[in-house]
Amino acid sequence: MNIRIINKSSHSLPHYETGASAGMDLRANISESVTLEPLGRTIIKTGLFIELPVGYEAQVRPRSGLAAKQGVTVLNAPGTIDADYRGEIGVILVNLSNDSFVIKNGERIAQLVIAKHERAEWEEVNELSETARGEGGFGSTGVK
């Protein structure tokens, strides 16, 4: 599948690092470094604009290394880019560590996963089918 993209950044296009990678790294496209204080959040622009086919979304997800090593993650993970959005891709980052984190131009800040999705129609009913789980939620299926 081909996806139309405009790259106004100074970086190469996102790409898959390995043959089995699901996501492509997104890089910060900023004129000067941004310091993200503990518990602080900011939107970092990428310089990328995409045109997805209807029936697809782009999911902005955290990079596991950045989260594990620095405590920096995507706040609304996964962020959804809809097929009709034409603005610049921005990433909402949050610093969950106790230390300041400096975001530099070109830094890999998130990953982008392209996913097919369905559109549902509601069928309003008065009752739902029974299951063994029933109304149990929030940890109810775990072993005790």
pLDDT at 50: 98
CB neighbour list of residue 59: distance below 8 Å, 6 or more residues apart: 78, 79, 80, 81, 112, 113, 114, 115
Return the domain boundaries, the chain.
4-116
Give the range among 76-80, 111-115, 130-134 with minimum mean pLDDT: 130-134
pLDDT at 39: 98
Q: Is residue 43 scored above 60 in pLDDT?
A: yes
Q: Is residue 144 scored above 60 in pLDDT?
A: no
pLDDT interval class at 114 (50, 70, 90) = very high
Number of residues that make up the chain: 144
Cα distances from 100 to residues 34, 65, 66, 70, in angstroms, run 10, 17, 13, 9
- d(Cα 58, Cα 82) in Å, to the nearest integer? 7
pLDDT at 133: 85
User: Mean pLDDT over all residues of the chain?
Assistant: 95
**pLDDT tens digit sequence for 44-90:** 999 999 999 999 999 999 999 999 999 999 999 999 999 999 999 99
β-bridge mates for residue 80, sequence order: 59
Q: Is residue 2 scored above 70 in pLDDT?
A: yes
Mean pLDDT of 19-36: 97
Mean pLDDT of 88-107: 98
- The CATH H-level superfamily of 4-116 is Deoxyuridine triphosphatase (dUTPase) (2.70.40.10)
pLDDT interval class at 135 (50, 70, 90) = confident
